[in-house]
Structure 1
């Protein structure tokens, strides 16, 4: 029996010809990532080892992005801890104020992950880089410390689910809608510790930004990772952003999958996840009357340039509904600058939108958009758990940038076609 794409990458990095589902292996790492919440714990564990240097100064990245710019004394101390560690260890890929971004937008933009890599990050949405044909997954802070020390990590080889995507999505249907549809279909534990492998002719209609959004949310279905085959679009992105060599892996024709789903993208609609789980999904026409207090457009899931373009297209020449707070978070400084150059920021501000520096912000209840008791937000973020964005009696609805922008204009969850 053959191997899946993920299994081939893991086998190569373990130095063996073949791996099997459930096998425990130790693999070499191409990137170890941490942020301002998780890295301080890893730094303390690293110090306990008594080591004076990391395994490779080029293969460790630390990005303070969750409570940055620092929202309080505690977050400032967290950032000071990792800033000093990065300096002492001479870590090359430390990105803070002025050159920062939300980590899962910044790492691909900086070319730090390429096809065929194995990347671990002390953040669950590290699975984002599967869009590039890499194996990337979230780990704990202790594993991050061990990874920084040794350049290695233990894994249990995951099984896989294949999603065969066919057809062309309709207008206003994006990668975010596709992954919400999938999570709604299989549930938040439907891919538990499995690789979610996306294939099919429908991929030619999905941009890199679509793919990043989909891989990003593989964890919301319990997936160990999400991964896309490497095609011309992937290689074009890699050649633009990375200076490193890469290796393309393809699944064997006789690879074994636990399940195979075929999805006709042309039949999908804009999709919204209701509180309090990402699998509590409804098609836009089934939403009903849901009034909102806040709109968040951004995050590591949907803060890229295409996301901002879609939102600006809908908001252009219009005003957000009275009483609705709308916040846009570009994913990186580069995207922020591009949005300025394209006139998107002017469009947002004229519409009554607040634009923030790149930061995770309210996505995890961090800052710059916390919800009060009884308030509702529609957000392009990735989780809508109880209290995720503030008060435990607030509500978060997950949606695409198009749905979020349309909803900003009406003050209730709205189909983009009704306002565009």
Structure 2
């Protein structure tokens, strides 16, 4: 009789042609995709060139997206971009999303129609688990492992233990997926899922859209996780059909009911309130009531975590007909060019501009302190990004509070960290008047 397995174990077992794999086993895992960007990939390219190993195992299975500092902010950034583009052209990389046609790599990849359930993707970027929401094994690796994957199409992996997160209930108005993941990290700590797979499930999962699920898996690394993963259910499959992913490539796995988990936790979505992560750790979560009244200098809406069209809609609904506080600057960064275009069609960009925000080109931007909104000394920022480490978005003395797009927008208007449910109540009262 086959031993029960978690979702991650089942995917890995299938990839290596085994009936069973167990946590702690060292595997050489074939990859289906390598996701490349201009910061870490040039390091891997150099490693290969220095060893006369400059080849790509399958140019049709590499997705290259310059995203961290584009358009280039300085000469060093321009050189990194040139390096990636020259490599792409030399090796005939098929899936190249250049400046003006891409955005943030993870968000481009998720919506490209390329990834499929049961597949494996690696990238030299820690937020690669984003793609795990599609029922695939997605993980970030170092530049050495990235070089090996580019050259051979495989990488070495120790099978992770799995943390199971069961969702029950349904989110209330003004509470979002970002609040779920911040609450989980608050409970288990910044290393509570160290080197684990974070498997999401439970009846509450059916109430979450794909965009909300991407937010959950995206931040696995903020809890120390190797990956985040969700079984491909009806919601996933509808999304894949919409994006044009060929069904013959789907390999849909479910965790066994009696699979062994290192730990299980339950989150009741119906009882959840907005959560704000205080400086300087994503795990330093507090209820919104603890954060109310903290004066801010900057409100930042964007990143691979919360720069999707649903995030922009949430913020625009709060900002429509209102103005950003005089002492606050708000920066909006759609995650991809396609999202930017959709926001234009829906009039969201106009809402942001009328409210006094500035809208920037799709990129990682200020999320990692490289571009478009870097914080100065003692700045206080409310941000929809994924990390608030010291110096993450700019000067070491700056303070970063992580929250949902709704909290970011409400705080931008109020000039201080604010519960977005107050704005929803105010809007409802106006509509009923």
TM-score, shorter chain, exceeding 0.5 = yes
- Please point out which of 76, 81, 86 is paired with 2:83: 81
Q: 198-207 or 119-128: which moved more?
A: 198-207
Taking the TM superposition and a 5 Å limit, the aligned residue runs for 1:175-324 are 175-244=177-246, 245-324=249-328
Q: For residues 204 and 11 of structure 1, what CA distance do their matches in structure 2 show?
A: 26
Q: Is the Cα–Cα contact under 8 Å of residues 39 and 62 in structure 1 kept in the other structure?
A: no
Q: What is the DSSP-based 3-state SS (H/G/I as helix, E as strand, rest coil) of the residue aligned with 2:110?
A: helix
Contact 2:45–2:54 (CA under 8 A) maintained in structure 1: no
Matches of 2:234 and 2:100, distance apart in 1: 32
Whether the aligned pair in 2 keeps the contact of 1:108 and 1:241 (CA below 8 Å) is: no
Deviates more, 1:253-262 or 1:403-412: 253-262
Once the two structures are TM-superposed, the CA of residue 49 in structure 1 deviates from its matched residue by 3.5
What is the alpha-carbon distance in structure 2 between the residues aligned to residue 311 and residue 346 of structure 1?
A: 12
Q: Alignment partner of 1:75: what SS?
A: helix
Aligned with residue 392 of structure 1, among 371, 396, 411 = 396
Specify the alignment match of 1:338 in structure 2. 342
Q: Secondary structure at the match of 2:156?
A: strand
Cα displacement string for residues 343-362 of structure 1 (whole angstroms, at most 9, x for unaligned residues): 10111110001011101010
SS in 1 for 2:388: coil
Shift of 1:207: 0.9
Contact 2:32–2:121 (Cα < 8 Å) also in 1: yes
Matched, 1:411 2:412: no
C-alpha distance in structure 2 between counterparts of 1:194 and 1:370, whole Å: 32
Q: Which moved more, 1:70-79 or 1:9-18?
A: 9-18
Q: What residue ranges of structure 2 are gaps of 5+ in the alignment?
A: 425-433
TM-score by length of 1: 0.99
Residue 107 of structure 1, aligned match among 100, 106, 109: 109
CA shift, 1:52, in A, is 5.0
Q: How does 1:37-186 map to 2 (within 5 A)?
A: 37-186=39-188
List alignment gaps of at least 5 residues for structure 1.
none
1:139 and 1:217 mapped to 2: Cα distance?
Answer: 15
Equivalent residue number for residue 31 of structure 1: 33
- Cα pair 1:52 1:89 within 8 Å, conserved: no
Shift of 1:313: 0.2
* CA distance in structure 2 between the aligned counterparts of 1:242 and 1:385, rounded to whole angstroms: 38
Q: Which deviations, in whole Å up to 9, do the C-alpha atoms of 1:19-71 show, x marking residues without a partner?
A: 01100011110001121110110110121342453111111122110011100
Whole-angstrom distance in 2 between the partners of 1:417 and 1:174: 11
Matched with 2:358 is 354
In structure 2, C-alpha distance between the alignment counterparts of 1:280 and 1:210, rounded to whole Å: 21
Asked whether the equivalents of residues 116 and 245 of structure 2 are also in contact (C-alpha less than 8 Å), the reply is no
Query: TM-score, normalising length from structure 2?
Result: 0.96
Q: What RMSD in Å do the two structures reach over aligned CA positions?
A: 0.9
* Alignment: residue pair count: 420
The CA distance in 2 between the partners of 1:357 and 1:175, in whole Å, is 24
C-alpha deviation, 1:417, in angstroms: 1.6
1:16 match: 18
In 1: Cα distance, 2:244 partner to 2:47 partner: 31
Within 1, Cα distance between the matches of 2:86 and 2:25? 38
